[in-house]
Structure 1
Amino acid sequence: MRLSQAFQPTLKEIPAEAQIASHRLMLRAGLVRQTASGIYTWLPAGLRVLRRIATIVREEQDAVGGQEVLMPTLQSADLWKRSGRYDAYGPEMLRIQDRQKRELLYGPTNEEMVTDLFGSTVKSYRELPKTLYHIQWKFRDEIRPRFGVMRGREFYMKDGYSFDASYEEAGYSYFRMMLSYLRIFHRLGVKAVPMAADTGPIGGDLSHEFLVLAPTGESEVFYHHDWDLMDWGTSPLDPQKSEDLDALKEIVSKTYSATDEKHDEASWQNVPEDKRRSGRGIEVGHIFYFGTKYTEAMGVSVSGADGTAFHPHMGSYGIGVSRLVGAIIEASHDDHGIIWPDNVAPYRAAILNLRPGDESCDALCERFYQCDPEGLLYDDRSERAGVKFNDADLMGHPWQIIIGPRGAKNGMVELKRRATGERLELSVDEALAKVGLN
């Protein structure tokens, strides 16, 4: 994309309504614009980040046997009355009526709908286990929406649901999903620690939140330093092997981590003092096991091996896709702007033409740009070099390919790594290889 043609309206001034870094930077870098309280329009660069995160989530969910569906945003109130949650959920639920006076709601979550879907189609234990997920917009009417997409009223979320024949099998589904989440966050370039957590209104007796460590986090967290050292990208654990899932369960049980709600001081004192870590965390994912709570309440059963009907055990697994955009920025920024991890950046690199109109500069910029017009942002504007440097830092591209007239004549470019500030003077072929364009 040529920046002269892009719809990416950056701001020089810090918006008065933005209280935290991610909100300020998303507005300044032209990723979103607010249209109503807690509701945002996603602009092209922000949407590219949102889609890249969603793609990684899909790939890792598919890898552990998840099957994608797409459930509607509007749900029948009757489903929630069957589960007993319609009146209990509270004012966060947006309740509406259609022209026939039928009660509907804008879904804040999908346990009822997916349980009804499962119950209308799956009839035998031979069809288990099943894991269904979707990525869909949801709405919760927060009383004080703030912090931009970190706590908006409308948000983009992956929610998945497992159905198993027994408690033991449901436990394997739970830890298989935990491993999937750890790999997702590794690929996204963030450290998200699974913390023992309350189940809240969804219910159940086993629950972990995944929290990105950041000073602006809403939750206080306590965890063992070993979580900082674990590399889930190279982990040999196989989500399809029960013995590997047992090993993960053992790691979780022995390596302390908890939110303030579940913090146990006695267990904390058993952690060596030099291994204790505490701070603030931003919730970006939450997994639950809640047994037969919904299948029983909604009258959903399948036939067992002996012909006797039973209620399947369920788990629920959420990731805040839109919330992750803000969380990644909170965890990865500096005074100059965003620092995108490579896998989620809207563009892999920015090409900065320091003298548009110069024949050598224009030709070399075009050579780089034509390698990947979709994945590169070419700053071809007639602006001062300082403006281009500032905007590139603000937008957070992992690489900046800096092309000036003197270097261009000699076939040399300057390459800047945004995360470290390192600058390299390289030949064209060396720069292409470094950025992965050859």
Structure 2
Amino acid sequence: MRLSRSLIPTIKETPAEAQIVSHRLMLRAGLIRQQSSGIYAWLPAGLRVLHNIANIVRAEQTRAGAQEILMPTIQSADLWRESGRYDAYGPEMLRIRDRHDREMLYGPTNEEMLTAIMRDSVQSYRDLPQMLYQIQWKFRDEVRPRFGVLRGREFYMKDGYSFDLDYASAVSSYRRMMLSYMRIFRDMGVRAIPMRADTGPIGGDLSHEFHILAPTGESGVFYDKAFETIDLGNDTYSYENQADLDAFFDHMTSLYAATDEKHDTVAWSNIPEADRREGRGIEIGQIFYFGTKYSEKMGFAVVGPDGAKIHPEMGSYGIGVSRLTGAIIEASHDDAGIIWPDAVAPFHAAILNLRQGDATTDALCEQAYAGLGDAALYDDRPARAGEKFADADLMGHPWQIIIGPRGAANGMVELKRRRTGERAELSLEDTLAKVRG
């Protein structure tokens, strides 16, 4: 993408309404623009980040055996009355009426809708287990929307649901999702800490939150130092092996983490003081097991092998995709701007033309741009070099390919790594090879 033709409206000033780093940097880097309280438009670069995060989620969920679906954002109030949650959910639910005076709602979550879909589609135990997920916009009417996309009203979320015949199988699905989540966050280039959590309005008696460690995190967390080096490789644990899933979960719970607000006494007894680490965390996902809470209330049963009716055991699994964008920035930035992990960056590299109009410089920039295509943002603006450097640091591209007339005359470019600040003078061929990885 050529920056001269792009809608990436960077700003130098710190927006007065932005209280935290990620909100400030997302506005300044031209990723989002606020439309109303807690509701944002995602501009091209911001949307690319959302897509990159969502695609990492999709890839690992597919490996874990989940199937992607897409459900409506608007739901019937009758479904929520079946589960008993319509009146109990609280004012965070946006309740609306259509032109026929039917009560509807903008879905904050989808346990009821998917239970109804399964009730209409699955009748036999032979059709289970099933694991399904979607990535979709949701709405919760926060009383005080703040912190940009970390606490907005409309948000982009991955929500998944499992259906199993019995408790043991449901627990296996839960552990499968915990492993999938840990790999998802690893693949995004961030460190996540799982910790036991309250189930809240979702219900059930087993739940874990996942927190990204960030200096500006909203919760104090304690964790075992082993989380810093834990091996989640695909060869270490298999999704298809029950013993592997059990071993993984046992390893996680032996390293139990806790928030200082919740005073989890189990964690203090499990983590030796010498191995205990303290930090700040931002919640970016949560998983739940809640048994037959919804299948019983909504009349979803399958015929078992002996002809008896069985209410499937269920779990649900959420990841805040839009929230992750802000959380990653909170965990990875400096005074100059964002430092994107390679896997989620909107562009893998920025090409900085330091002498727009110089034939040799222009030609080498065009070669670099052709070599990287859509993975690069080509800063071809007739702007000062200092402005281009500042915007490249602000936007956080993992690599900067800096091309000026002196180096271009010899076919050389300067390559800068945003995270470390390391610079090297290389041929264009070697530069492209390094950037492509």
Q: What's the TM-score, normalizing by structure 1?
A: 0.98
* 2: CA distance, partners of 1:380 / 1:27: 22
Q: Distance in 2 between matches of 1:429 and 1:254?
A: 48
Aligned counterpart, 1:432: 432
- Whether the 8 Å contact between 1:289 and 1:314 is mirrored in structure 2 is yes
Q: Aligned residue for 2:315?
A: 315
- How far the C-alpha of 1:278 sits from its partner, in A, is 2.0
Aligned to 1:10: 10
Q: Hey, what's the Cα distance between the residues in 1 that align with 2:33 and 2:235?
A: 39
Give the SS at the match of 2:4: coil
Aligned to 2:94: 94
Name the counterpart of 2:119: 119
For residues 254 and 405 of structure 1, the distance between their equivalents in structure 2, rounded to whole angstroms, comes to 58
User: Partners of 2:157 and 2:320 in 1: how far apart?
Assistant: 5
**What pairs up with 1:177-196 in 2 under 5 angstroms?**
177-196=177-196
Give secondary structure in 1 for the equivalent of 2:378.
strand
- Determine if contact 2:255/2:270 at 8 Å carries over to the other structure: no
1:379 aligns with 379
Equivalents in 2 of 1:235, 1:275: separation in Å? 26
Cα deviation digits, residues 170-213 of structure 1 (max 9, x gap): 01100111111111101101101111111111011110001001
Which residue of the partner structure matches residue 363 of structure 2?
Answer: 363
Contact 2:25 2:394 in 1 (8 A): yes
Structure 2 SS opposite 1:407: helix
Match of 2:25 in 1: 25
Change (3 A) 1:261 1:241: farther
Instruction: Give the conservation status (yes or no) of the 8 Å contact 2:194–2:256.
Output: no
| Structure 1 gap ranges (5+) | none
| Separation of aligned partners in 1, 2:294 and 2:412 | 64
* d(CA) in 1 for partners of 2:224, 2:11: 41
- Residue 196 of structure 1 aligns with an amino acid whose one-letter code is R
Return the alpha-carbon distance in structure 1 between the equivalents of residues 83 and 335 of structure 2. Answer: 49
Distance 2:270 2:307 in 1: 49
Taking a change above 3 Å as real, the CA distance of residues 127 and 262 of structure 1, as seen in their structure-2 partners, is: farther
Summarize the Cα distance change of 1:350–1:266 in structure 2 as closer, same or farther, 3 Å threshold.
Answer: closer
Counterpart of 2:264? 264
Find the aligned partners of 1:118 and 1:417 in 2 and give their Cα distance: 49
SS of 1:152's partner is: coil
How many pairs are equivalent? 437
Distance 1:279 1:267 in 2: 15
How has the CA–CA distance of structure 1 residues 101 and 222 changed in structure 2, closer, same or farther, with 3 Å as cutoff? same
In structure 2, distance between residues paired with 1:302 and 1:425 = 66
Q: Secondary structure at the match of 2:421?
A: coil
Change beyond 3 A, Cα 1:235–1:284: farther
Matched, 1:413 2:413: yes
Confirm or deny: 8 A CA contact 2:290 2:314 kept in the other structure: yes
The alpha-carbon deviation at position 379 of structure 1 amounts to 0.5
- Give the conservation status (yes or no) of the 8 Å contact 1:33–1:43: yes
CA 1:266–1:248 in structure 2 vs 1: closer, same or farther (change >3 Å)? closer
Deviations 1:296-351 (A, max 9, x none): 11111001110000100000000000000000100000000000111111111000
Q: Deviations over 1:359-402 (max 9, x none)?
A: 11000000000113311100011111111000000000000000
Q: Is the 8 A contact 1:400 1:416 kept in 2?
A: yes
Q: What aligned pairs does 1:215-294 form with structure 2 within 5 A after superposition? A: 215-233=215-233, 236-260=236-260, 262-265=262-265, 267-294=267-294
Q: 2:111 and 2:234 mapped to 1: Cα distance?
A: 33
CA distance in 2, matches of 1:149, 1:229: 29
User: Helix, strand or coil: the match of 1:370?
Assistant: helix
Question: By how many angstroms is 1:253 displaced?
Answer: 2.2
Q: Is the 8 A contact 1:198 1:261 kept in 2?
A: no
- 2:258, 2:267 within 8 Å by CA — same for their partners in 1? no
What is the CA–CA distance in structure 1 between the aligned matches of 2:430 and 2:99, rounded to whole Å? 64
Q: For 2:235 and 2:190, how far apart are their aligned partners in 1?
A: 16
Mark the CA change 1:435 to 1:267 in structure 2 (over 3 Å): closer, same or farther.
closer
Residue range with higher mean Cα deviation, 145-154 or 275-284: 275-284
The alpha-carbon deviation at position 234 of structure 1 amounts to 5.8
Offset from partner CA, 1:125-179 (integer Å, 9 cap, x none): 1111000111110000000000000110000000000000000000110011111
Correspondence 1:43-62 to 2 at 5 A: 43-62=43-62
- 2:206 is aligned to 206
Percent identical residues: 69
Distance 1:329 1:248 in 2: 29
Once superposed, what is the RMSD of the aligned Cα atoms? 1.2
Deviation at 1:34, TM superposition (A): 0.0
- 2:66 corresponds to which residue? 66
Structure 1: distance between partners of 2:365 and 2:203? 56
Displacement after TM superposition at 1:259 (Å) = 2.9
Contact 2:204 2:290 in 1 (8 A): yes
Q: Quote the offset at 1:267 in angstroms.
A: 4.2
- CA drift of 1:233 comes to 4.1
Shift of 1:262: 4.5
Match of 1:401 in 2: 401
Most deviating of 137-146 and 208-217: 208-217
| Other structure's SS at 1:60 match | helix
CA distance in 1, matches of 2:349, 2:233: 24
